Structure 1
């Protein structure tokens, strides 16, 4: 589907498509944690989207290896591709944990994390659309918002884990949920990493 595009168009559009794939994945994740009643079906769908994300990553890396002149520094494109893939991997990994950890009910912290991830994914997509347009001012504003959302992820992880020690008597349940909360916070860290790379791009090209 990329044969009629210039190389610059291919790089920018593939990054946009990869970000859009994350938006779809996070929205499914949010639906999932609302009840966790169909977690197996959601995990399977998210696995499909994770595989689709891998294809975008492989395409970008292959084109980097085959293209002499790239629209951005090679290392920046590579880091953006890898970090976007890591975000999607993290979301899929959490959905899988709901299944094999036998998590049967949601929590307020899972719901809040899902909201943070949905906002983060939406901002990421907007940032890559802005990158294609070379709207560097928009990227700067989005980076600020993503940093704030990462701070919110930190808060949710601290409070979520703290609530487990306050109210969970089953040590296995505590271990399971602690790992999931930490994994979710880790996703917000990776999103912030993407924002950092985008800010670096802005500094080079604005």
Structure 2
């Protein structure tokens, strides 16, 4: 049976906390790309949040190993934990690239990606709060919104990469920006993957 309240609080609270950690990371990322003037500081802050995310993952894995009856299938909890970690790893990797690739000026495309990622993170947090409440209809609606955001990310990636070849000058710069835009689009894909896992949980237990 899904949701034994006496045993489930650690799982659900940790998932919500991990999602909240991602919201904070995406907010910092958006602030970072507004100017990129303090990209080193933001990269360090995002690394700290990534480490915190690893701690949440460790808590979930520890609870899985120590709990005989889990609130949902162990495979589902594991998938949620892994995908949460992947989203955070992806945005932290992008912030690190700004530093070691010497990205010193932002672009409208970076800002649009940051806004998409921040909205996706906020929806994911709402979804995990809804999961604990068994509000499955809200999760379904949220999944649709995240899918729409991922579609926006796809279009933005094609537009941003295409712009690099309209009047290419420095091939190194083209390669650098192409990788960044594709990496950012990959983070939107990962957020959608996480939403898909949530949707599969809903289909299984609703």
Instruction: Using structure 1 for the length normalisation, give the TM-score.
Output: 0.96
**CA-CA distance at 1:7 after TM superposition:** 3.0
Q: Distance in 2 between matches of 1:35 and 1:199?
A: 36
Q: Distance in 2 between matches of 1:111 and 1:81?
A: 28
Q: Secondary structure of the residue that 2:166 maps to in structure 1?
A: helix
Give the gaps of 5 or more residues in structure 2.
none
Q: Distance in 1 between matches of 2:30 and 2:6?
A: 36
What does residue 142 of structure 1 align with? 142
What does residue 91 of structure 1 align with? 91
What does residue 51 of structure 1 align with? 51
Instruction: Using structure 2 for the length normalisation, give the TM-score.
Output: 0.96
**CA-CA distance at 1:168 after TM superposition:** 3.5
Q: Secondary structure of the residue that 2:165 maps to in structure 1?
A: helix
Structure 1 outlier segments of 4+, above 2 Å: none
Instruction: State the number of aligned residues.
Output: 202
> RMSD between aligned alpha carbons?
0.9
Give the gaps of 5 or more residues in structure 1.
none
**CA-CA distance at 1:128 after TM superposition:** 0.1
**CA-CA distance at 1:6 after TM superposition:** 4.2
Pairing 1:27-176 to 2, within 5 Å after superposition: 27-176=27-176
Q: Distance in 2 between matches of 1:60 and 1:36?
A: 34
Q: Distance in 2 between matches of 1:134 and 1:104?
A: 45
Q: Distance in 2 between matches of 1:71 and 1:132?
A: 10
